[in-house]
Amino acid sequence: NAGVTQTPKFRILKIGQSMTLQCTQDMNHNYMYWYRQDPGMGLKLIYYSVGAGITDKGEVPNGYNVSRSTTEDFPLRLELAAPSQTSVYFCASSFRTSGGVVEQFFGPGTRLTVL
C-alpha cells in the first residue's frame, strides 16, 4: 500500500492564483482530513470528510474548498491565493476501530508559498 499520497510536494503561487492540492489514499478509509501547519505551530484542521459526498468545515476553512466524489480522493482547492495561505498542507485518512478509537495516517505534505 502506498498509504496517503499528496501532490505536488512544493508549489509557489502568485497572489490571486488558484490551485488544487491532490490527496489520494489506498486504505479504503472513510474519513479524510486536510490540515495546515504554520511554522512552529501545531496542525489546524481545514476540512474533513466522513465519506464520499460528505464534507464539513474544520477550524480554518476560509479561502478553501473541498470535494469528495470517491472514497480514495479528497482534493483541496485554493481560490484567490493570499500570503496568509503560505503553509505546509497535510492530508490524512483514518479508520475507526470497533471501540471507536481513531488512528490517522498522514501524507508527506505539500509546502505552499504565496508571493
Partner 1 sequence: DAKTTQPNSMESNEEEPVHLPCNHSTISGTDYIHWYRQLPSQGPEYVIHGLTSNVNNRMASLAIAEDRKSSTLILHRATLRDAAVYYCILNGGGSNYKLTFGKGTLLTVNP
C-beta of 73: minimal distance to partner 1 in Å? Answer: 18
Buried b (16+ CB within 10 A) or exposed e, 74-96: bbbebeebeeebbbbbbbbbbee
Taking the least distance from each CB to partner 1, the nearer of 31 and 71 is: 31
Taking the least distance from each CB to partner 1, the nearer of 15 and 57 is: 57
C-alpha cell at 3: 498509504
In the complex, which residues of this chain contact partner 1 (CB under 8 A)?
Answer: 4, 31, 33, 35, 40-45, 48, 50, 58, 90, 92, 94, 96, 99-109
